[in-house]
Chains A and B, each alone.
Chain A
Amino acid sequence: MMKALVFAEKADHFNRISSKLKEMGFEVHGLSFAEANADHLYISEPNYDYASITAAMEKISDDVGPDLVVFSSTKLGKEVSARFAQRKNLPCITECLNLEVEGSSITVSRYSLGGKTIAKLRTSLPGVIAVVADAIEPSEQSFQMNIQDFEIPVSNQIRTVSREEKKREAVGLREADVIICIGRGLRKKEDIELVKELAEKLNAEIGCTRPLSHDYKWLPEERMIGLSGEKVSPKLLISIGVSGQIQHAVGIMNSKTVIAINTDENAPMREHSDYYVVGDLYEIIPELIRNL
């Protein structure tokens, strides 16, 4: 039986990945910071240092001899997957959305060309991949659940001075039926009030493009939609003042209906819209609120 070795710092990610691997017929070994589903699991104290985790994975890997080593494609997971792969002189593919095994090779899908296309890549085993855990539907699987404690070797390559959890507000973008997504067409932070008014009328969640969350910090990061943010699938998405660059558009492709409002009649957003309103959001939104 082929063996897989998994690392994910979040138990939820770990379980999604391990259920998929089990379904594909792997014996699942793993390292995690909390109890999770695996045939053989090492549990350690949480540790977010790449050098330490790489050393730990190297050690476990040398013991287990896995055919496939899988990380969760978080920032930490990507960083460690590449360092681990280089140490083991193995190929590595990050940001995998899907995986299939055929004999001694594995086929994965990932975005390419900034999200314009989806590439299918095949590589022979042994190999390393980092998987976008949220893209995997977890399934019910039964595991041997041999669990043992593990002490991650300490490394001093870099020193952590401080760590601060990001404040997260619970955002229901993924479950929302209606989403209003705003972009740089909005001139100032205060104008979000106008959008909020509309959102209340429609019982909608508010999402945004990357400049609004990451550059201007008008909205928290968890409201960002796109390649590096949330992928949403509402019944209706209303996109306001968003140009529709591919890295953003990737996040809205599963919406059932898309309405966009943009002053530019030829913004890339047009291709991603069912209804494309050419006009100024500052004129249209107040009228729209009146009409609803």
Chain B
Amino acid sequence: MKIAVCVKEVYNLEQVKIIKETREPILDVPKKLDDLSRNALEEAIKIREKLGGEVVAISAGSPDLKKTIKEALAMGADRAVIVTDCSNSTPESTALILSKILEKDSYDLIIMGDASSDDYSGQMASRIAEILGLPQITFVSEIKEVSEEKITCVRDMDDYLEVVEADLPCVLSVTNEINEPRIPALKDILKASKKPVETLSANDLGVEIPQPYEIIENLAPEIDRRQEVIEGDAGDVARKLAEIIRREA
């Protein structure tokens, strides 16, 4: 079984600070592998553990990817293919680039997160499946059965749960709840440093990056809470709270 996992680097959002006066975000923070990419990887590794084969991590992003991709290798991907010159990517451009890489090999399964936790755009599985002319199963919360030929999944949709099946090759997107991604141990990290990483540029792939939209502004909403801290003995605190609740409710 040959599985490609499309992973994404994101800013470590917990470290992104907002400038109070201008409401602008400060993006000068380290990047990391997105949580949902970890879910996708975990699922791919589980399948490999069962059926054998190879898991390839594929990603398009900034030069920082050279570092972030190691997290995917440490988790258990066998190798990686990365494109490091598309910092200002959009779903449109990323889908084109990833598809170019995916076309070079024949994968049985292509797995990714149902969205990324920064943009939450959720277009990648559909776009890639469309470009490659493959079926897609999105929002997968459980893989019930998988063989070399066929996969059966539970999809967790807004109002319903659905069991669907498709023939391979096929594109999957998985939800955050599908599994608990493993945390790599030191020995996995050391092993990862020896795994092959192929680094490409969008140019190598012959992709011109489309810029379909313009970002007019990107500002944090005004958060103007009093932030009054109440501490002390539980009894006192509760009395104060009761007073506030009576006033505000």
Across the interface, do A178 and B228 meet the contact criterion of CB distance under 8 Å?
A: no
Residues of B within 8 A of A86 (CB): 95, 126-127, 130-131
CA distance A288 to B249 in the complex (A): 15
Across the interface, do A177 and B176 meet the contact criterion of CB distance under 8 Å?
A: no
Interface of B is mostly: mixed
- Indicate if B185 sits at the interface (CB-CB under 8 A): no
Give the contact stretch, choosing among A25-33, A140-148, A160-168: A160-168
**Distance to closest chain A CB from B149 (angstroms):** 13
Most A CB contacts (10 A, CB to CB) among B25, B119, B126, B152 go to B126
- The one of B120, B213, B225, B237 in contact with A122, judged by C-beta atoms closer than 8 angstroms, is B213
Across the interface, do A274 and B137 meet the contact criterion of CB distance under 8 Å?
A: no
**Distance to closest chain B CB from A232 (angstroms):** 15
| Contact-size category for B | 35 or more
- Indicate if A101 sits at the interface (CB-CB under 8 A): no
Residues of B within 8 A of A91 (CB): 90, 92, 210, 212-213
Give the contact stretch, choosing among B58-66, B77-85, B159-167, B193-201: B159-167
Interface size on A, residues (CB 8 A): 84
Known: A75-B139, A165-B159. A121 touches B16 (CB 8 A): no
- The one of B120, B139, B218 in contact with A114, judged by C-beta atoms closer than 8 angstroms, is B120
Known: A83-B129, A114-B117, A274-B225. A120 touches B218 (CB 8 A): yes
Residues of A within 8 A of B212 (CB): 91, 123, 127
Residues of B within 8 A of A85 (CB): 123, 127
- The one of A117, A159, A164, A210 in contact with B25, judged by C-beta atoms closer than 8 angstroms, is A117
Q: Mark B222-240, 1 if CB is under 8 A from A, else 0.
A: 0101111111001101110
Across the interface, do A163 and B160 meet the contact criterion of CB distance under 8 Å?
A: yes
**Distance to closest chain A CB from B228 (angstroms):** 5
Across the interface, do B126 and A276 meet the contact criterion of CB distance under 8 Å?
A: no
- Indicate if B207 sits at the interface (CB-CB under 8 A): no
CA distance A51 to B14 in the complex (A): 37
Residues of A within 8 A of B122 (CB): 78-79, 82, 94-95
Most B CB contacts (10 A, CB to CB) among A227, A288, A292 go to A288
Known: A120-B218, A166-B160, A271-B223. A158 touches B130 (CB 8 A): no
- The one of B91, B177, B234 in contact with A82, judged by C-beta atoms closer than 8 angstroms, is B91
CA distance A223 to B198 in the complex (A): 45
Across the interface, do A164 and B161 meet the contact criterion of CB distance under 8 Å?
A: yes
- Which A237-292 residues have C-beta < 8 A from chain B? 238, 245-247, 253, 256-259, 265, 268, 270-280, 283-284, 287-288, 290-292
Across the interface, do A50 and B138 meet the contact criterion of CB distance under 8 Å?
A: yes
CA distance A24 to B89 in the complex (A): 30
Residues of B within 8 A of A50 (CB): 126, 136, 138
Name B131's closest neighbour in chain A (CB-CB). A86
CA distance A95 to B117 in the complex (A): 13
Across the interface, do A287 and B237 meet the contact criterion of CB distance under 8 Å?
A: yes
Q: Which residues of A contact B (CB under 8 A)?
A: 48, 50-51, 74-76, 78-83, 85-87, 91-95, 107, 111-114, 116-123, 127, 157-166, 168, 177-178, 202, 210, 214-215, 227-228, 235-236, 238, 245-247, 253, 256-259, 265, 268, 270-280, 283-284, 287-288, 290-292
Q: Which residues of B contact A (CB under 8 A)?
A: 11, 13-14, 16, 18, 23, 25, 90-92, 95, 117-127, 129-131, 135-139, 152, 157-166, 170, 176-177, 210, 212-221, 223, 225-231, 234-235, 237-239, 241-242, 244-246, 248-249
Q: Which 10 A-B pairs have the closest CB atoms?
A: A91-B212, A287-B238, A82-B123, A82-B126, A291-B242, A123-B213, A157-B135, A86-B130, A83-B126, A283-B234
For the complex with contacts A86-B131, A91-B210, A121-B216, 5 further pairs of A-B residues with Cβ separation under 8 Å are: A118-B220, A122-B214, A157-B136, A163-B161, A270-B227
Listed by A's residue number, 25 A-B pairs whose Cβ atoms lie within 8 Å are A48-B157, A76-B158, A78-B123, A79-B125, A83-B127, A83-B129, A91-B210, A92-B92, A94-B120, A114-B118, A116-B16, A117-B221, A118-B221, A122-B213, A122-B216, A127-B212, A160-B164, A162-B163, A163-B161, A177-B249, A258-B225, A259-B245, A274-B226, A277-B241, A292-B246
